[in-house]
Amino acid sequence: MKPFDAKTLNRVWRSLLVETLDESAHNTAMIASINTDSRAIKPMDCFVALVGEHFDGHDFCQAAVNQGANLLVVESKQPIDCPQIVVKDTRRALGLLAAEIRRQFGGQVIGLTGSVGKTTTKQMLANICQQVGKTHMTQGNLNNDLGVPFTWFALPEDCQFAVIEMGANHQGEIAYLAEIVQPDVGLVLNAGQAHLAGFGGLDGVAKGKGELFSALQSHQTAVINADDAYANWWQDMAANAGSKVTFSMRENAGADVYASDIQLAEQRFTLHYGQHTATVNLPVVGKHYVQNAIAAAAAAYAAGLPMAAVVAGLQTFTLAAGRQQLIQLGQVVIIDDTYNANPQSMQAAGDALSFATGYKIMVLGDMAELGEAQIEIHAQLGASLQHAADAFFCTGTMMQYFAQHNQRAQWFLDKQRLSDELLQWIISNVDKTVPTTILVKGSRSMKMETIVEFLRQQI
Ligand code: ATP
Ligand code: UDP
Ligand code: MG
């Protein structure tokens, strides 16, 4: 972030101001970066007090000043000797400052959202952009009302591209983020069964994601998934966008960017990119990655990037942590897919596992945030994954229903019991001549990575 002075901040935050900074403090309050955590404050930082679930940041203003903060942004004036700007809403203040940094950015901005595959597609897209010029992207999964502003605060100088992931679990969130991001190219990957509860059903999810399209104006491009059941809705929601680009996994959908000759076992497909075609060899296995690759290619097409950059970017991208990372432990390959899970990504993981040779095990935890249908969804998945692996080790309240509908599944009361049993199974069964692949997956709240850690230490 380039340094901001307090005068500029007063201007950026004028619509939120309760009490403006007094004139005498203007010169001293030159800030290097924005920080919301008193424990991580560095000299010249601006401390923004957020009210969270567990703590109230206002209680840590003195600690922040002791650490070197030279400006406080607060919702009520603090009895502390330090320049302060008092605003109505400190979260909004972060958003407005991010929007200002975005306005000053001269490069191209690609914003993406969707139910599943955002981070993976972001990794692909950023690697494509990187082939052409310096690219900034969302770090990790910082995709919400705090993560998106911090993504902008971390923008390095002279970038040509910014690839921004936008996440949501309720209506209005994407609209808020789109106002900050103002993407030149806006991509919605899909609408699926993630955060069903918060959005109020699948229509609600599609509407919530479509808020990105509704935000687009005549100088911006909408990138639409022609294969999604909500494609027509999204075409309507993108009515004010200057142009539209479509993508598809089907040859006859009439899409601008599409895949043909998809050879899943070889991880290869033919990319159709406007008038051009090329063969792409992906470094990852599974049909869902082809979907993400096509979506990333379509966004690159909308941004006017050459096809050579797309091919090079897709062939060399790397997955983010916890998304199907391969870990070789002696005879056993662990696929660490513990970052998160929902019905689509569970199915995709099972489909991808079916390409592994040898003995296959799925170690599964609950899928969260599925609302009223959660029991039925777990039961259905149990049945549909029946043939994806030779054995299933499950844990979590909801996974009981999965196990009831899957003859190869065993259910355990907790992760420790599951881990102990799995280790015993590995010790007595793993055969030097047959490879064994163990895929571990569950929702974030299940923290299934502790099982991966246990196996790492014990095998
Ligand atoms: P979050 O909402 O948590 O930010 P995300 O949308 O960023 O998730 P990823 O982190 O890319 O999604 O992927 C999450 C999981 O979904 C991974 O297990 C990945 O393998 C799987 N996945 C990725 N893309 C798809 C897809 N197109 N269809 C189904 N599953 C997918
Ligand atoms: N906070 C802080 N110092 C502390 C503890 C918390 O500055 O020692 C800040 C924290 O960074 C956050 C705010 O107080 O900006 C609210 O904290 P909480 O953990 O409740 O946030 P949540 O995780 O609920 O959003
Ligand atoms: Mg993500």
Instruction: Output the CA 60–ligand 2 centroid distance in Å.
Output: 9
Mean pLDDT of 277-287: 93
Confidence at residue 1, expressed as pLDDT on a 0 to 100 scale: 75
pLDDT in tens, 102-141: 999 999 999 999 999 999 999 999 999 999 999 999 998 8
Q: In the chain, pLDDT over 90 holds for what percent of residues? A: 82
Q: Tell me, using a 6 A CB cutoff, whether residue 59 lines ligand 2.
A: no
pLDDT of residue 309 exceeding 90: yes
pLDDT of residue 184 exceeding 70: yes
Confidence at residue 429, expressed as pLDDT on a 0 to 100 scale: 85
Ligand 2 atom closest to residue 38's alpha carbon, by position in its atom list: 7
Taking the C-alpha atoms of residue 400 and residue 447, their distance in angstroms, rounded to an integer, is 18
Confidence at residue 137, expressed as pLDDT on a 0 to 100 scale: 98
- What token pair was written down for 79? 């009895």
Instruction: Output the CA 87–ligand 2 centroid distance in Å.
Output: 18
Query: 3-class SS at 54?
Result: coil
pLDDT in tens, 429-455: 887 788 899 999 999 999 999 999 999
pLDDT of residue 20 exceeding 80: no
User: pLDDT grade, residue 25 (50/70/90)?
Assistant: low
Taking the C-alpha atoms of residue 142 and residue 248, their distance in angstroms, rounded to an integer, is 28
Confidence at residue 27, expressed as pLDDT on a 0 to 100 scale: 63
Look at ligand 2, atom 3, and give the residue with the nearest C-alpha. 38
Q: Which of the 8 DSSP states describes residue 234? A: H
**ipTM of the shown complex:** 0.92
- What token pair was written down for 445? 């709240």
Taking the C-alpha atoms of residue 79 and residue 146, their distance in angstroms, rounded to an integer, is 27
pLDDT of residue 254 exceeding 90: yes
- The string over 216-244, giving b where at least 16 C-beta atoms fall within 10 Å of a residue's C-beta and e elsewhere, is beeebbbbbbbbbebbebbbebbeebeeb
Q: Tell me, using a 6 A CB cutoff, whether residue 55 lines ligand 2.
A: yes
User: pLDDT grade, residue 5 (50/70/90)?
Assistant: confident
Q: Output the CA–CA distances (angstroms, integers) from residue 168 to 373, 381, 395, in the order listed.
A: 20, 24, 27
Amino acid at 422: L
Confidence at residue 28, expressed as pLDDT on a 0 to 100 scale: 64
Look at ligand 1, atom 9, and give the residue with the nearest C-alpha. 117
Q: Rounded to the nearest 5 degrees, what angle is found at the Cα of 412, between the Cα atoms of 411 and 415?
A: 130
Can you say how many angstroms the Cα of residue 398 is from the centroid of all Cα atoms in its chain? 24
User: pLDDT grade, residue 236 (50/70/90)?
Assistant: very high
Mean pLDDT of 272-278: 98
Taking the C-alpha atoms of residue 277 and residue 261, their distance in angstroms, rounded to an integer, is 12
More reliable by pLDDT, 3 or 229: 229
Q: What does the radius of gyration of the chain's CA atoms come to, in whole angstroms?
A: 24
Greatest alpha-carbon span in the chain:
77
Confidence at residue 111, expressed as pLDDT on a 0 to 100 scale: 98
Confidence at residue 10, expressed as pLDDT on a 0 to 100 scale: 86
Confidence at residue 320, expressed as pLDDT on a 0 to 100 scale: 82
Q: Tell me, using a 6 A CB cutoff, whether residue 35 lines ligand 2.
A: no
Instruction: Output the CA 407–ligand 1 centroid distance in Å.
Output: 27
User: pLDDT grade, residue 26 (50/70/90)?
Assistant: low
Look at ligand 1, atom 24, and give the residue with the nearest C-alpha. 117
Q: Tell me, using a 6 A CB cutoff, whether residue 443 lines ligand 1.
A: no
Amino acid at 133: G
Instruction: Output the CA 27–ligand 3 centroid distance in Å.
Output: 40
pLDDT in tens, 334-354: 999 999 999 999 999 999 898
Residue 427: CB atoms within 10 Å: 10
Q: Tell me, using a 6 A CB cutoff, whether residue 41 lines ligand 2.
A: no
More reliable by pLDDT, 176 or 3: 176
Q: How many helices (H) and strands (E) does the chain have?
A: 16, 22
Spell out the residues 6+ positions from residue 37 whose beta carbon is closer than 8 angstroms to its own. Answer: none
**Overall residue count recorded for the chain in this entry:** 459
CA atoms within 13 A on the CB side of 357: 4
Instruction: Output the CA 50–ligand 2 centroid distance in Å.
Output: 7
The helix or strand, by DSSP H or E, that contains position 217, with its residue range, turns out to be none
Q: Tell me, using a 6 A CB cutoff, whether residue 90 lines ligand 2.
A: no
Confidence at residue 126, expressed as pLDDT on a 0 to 100 scale: 98
Chain-wide mean pLDDT for the chain?
Answer: 94
Confidence at residue 6, expressed as pLDDT on a 0 to 100 scale: 80
Residue 95: CB atoms within 10 Å: 20
User: pLDDT grade, residue 23 (50/70/90)?
Assistant: low
Amino acid at 59: D
Mean pLDDT of 72-95: 95
Instruction: Output the CA 307–ligand 3 centroid distance in Å.
Output: 26
Instruction: Output the CA 86–ligand 1 centroid distance in Å.
Output: 39
Taking the C-alpha atoms of residue 323 and residue 360, their distance in angstroms, rounded to an integer, is 18
Q: Tell me, using a 6 A CB cutoff, whether residue 37 lines ligand 2.
A: yes
